[in-house]
Structure formats: C-alpha cells, structure tokens
Amino acid sequence: MSTSLYATFTVADRYLGVPVARVQEVLREQPITPVPLAHEHIEGLLNMRGQIVTALNLRARLGLAPREAGAPSAHVIVLTDEGPLSLLVDALGDVVTVHEDRFELPPDTLQTDTRHLIKGAYKLDDALLLDLDLDRTLDFTT
C-alpha cells in the first residue's frame, strides 16, 4: 500500500495539500509589493533571501472570497519549471501521510469552474484533505 507525504495548508476553510516533493519551503507572512497591470491572480512580489518570488493569490485562483484586510497569511513556496513561486494561503498546516487507497475523486456537486484544480480528496481520520492539482493551478496565464 503506497503512501506519500503532503504539505497542508488552509485557504478560506478549505484544507488543501500538495506533495512535499513540490514544496521548497514555507514562509510566514511577508511584505508583498503589488505589481500593477499584472494578472489579477498575482498578489505581488516578495523578497525570499535576496531572490524575488512571485506570489499567487490562491483564494483568487480558486475563485474564493478575498481575504479580509489584516487577516493573517502565509506562503507555500513551490518549485516550478520557471523557478520558485509562492502560493499565498491563509495558514500553514502539518505535513501529513496520505494513503492512496483512501483517495476519492471530487464529488460531482463540486463547483464547476475551479473543479479541475482539485484532483480529489484523501480521507484522513479527522478531516478531508483536498489534493490541489499544482500544475493546473499554476497554469492560469493562458
């Protein structure tokens, strides 16, 4: 029975995760420089130890309500072909072990326009962990 490790985080009460292999690191709240004229899902740029990283607003990407002003946030830095990219999330969670046989496809009732971003759900003992399709999530510019 195969298992894998997932880095988890929450976005507007959604409990989401991505494979740890795709995650470079996580950061607590960072000052962000907005980029005018950029794609609406781009939150801005942040300084990660001298390297400039683009932050993607995951709430916007998932079509969820914007974060309230002053609400806490955190960054999940994921590795992409174009270098690191930050997923702006509400809060960070633990790294959890998921079992493949406890995976299920998303229910048909899931909202349609961002449904393709969720691969499915892992049934954990105390919660449902949504498996975020990272590649599709990052493919928003086209």
Partner 1 sequence: MSNDMDEIVQEFLVESYESLDRLDGDLLALERDPHSKDTLASIFRVMHTIKGTCGFLGFPRLERVAHGAESLLGGLRDGTIEVNPPIASALLATGDALRQMLNNIERAGTDGDEDFLHLVATLERLRASAGATAPNRIPATPPSPRKDAPVRPEPPQTTEPVAEAARASVADANIRVDVAILDNLMTLVGELVLARNHIAQITAASDHDPVWAAAAQHLHAITADLQDGVMRTRLQPIHTAWARFPRVVRDLGMALGKQVRVETDGDDTELDRSIIEAIKDPLMHLVRNAVDHGIETLEEREAAGKPPEGVVHLRASHEGGQVTIVMRDDGRGIDLDKVRARGVERGLLRAEQAKKLSVHDTIEMIFLPGFSTMDQVTNLSGRGVGMDVVKTNLGRIGGSVEVTTTPGKGTTYTLKIPLTLAIIPALLVTSGAQRYAIPQVNLVELVRATPEQIEQVHGAPVLRLRDRLLPLVYLASELGGEVAEATTHHVVVLQADDRRFGLVVDTVTDSAEIVVKPVGSYLKGVDTFAGATILGDGSVGLILDIIGLARRAHVLTKKQERELAELYDHTEETETTGVSLLVFSDHEGGRMAIPLELVTRLEEFPRTELEAAGPFPVVQYGEEILHLVDISRLMLDRRRTSRTDGLSSAGETLPVIVYLHEGRRVGVVVGQILDVVRHDLVELQPGTRPGVAGTMITQDRVTEVLDLPQILSDWDEDALAALTGVELSA
Are 45 and 53 in contact by the 8 Å Cβ rule? The answer is yes
Closest approach of partner 1 to the CB of residue 80, in Å: 8
Closest CB to partner 1 among 37 and 69?
A: 37
Closest approach of partner 1 to the CB of residue 45, in Å: 4
Residues that bind partner 1 (CB under 8 A): 31-39, 42, 44-47, 50-54, 56, 82-83, 85, 141
Phi, psi of 35, rounded to the nearest 5 degrees: -115, 105
Closest CB to partner 1 among 84 and 106?
A: 84
Closest approach of partner 1 to the CB of residue 36, in Å: 4
Closest approach of partner 1 to the CB of residue 91, in Å: 23
Closest CB to partner 1 among 42 and 62?
A: 42
Q: Indicate if the alpha-carbon torsion angle 89, 92, 93, 97 is positive or negative.
A: positive
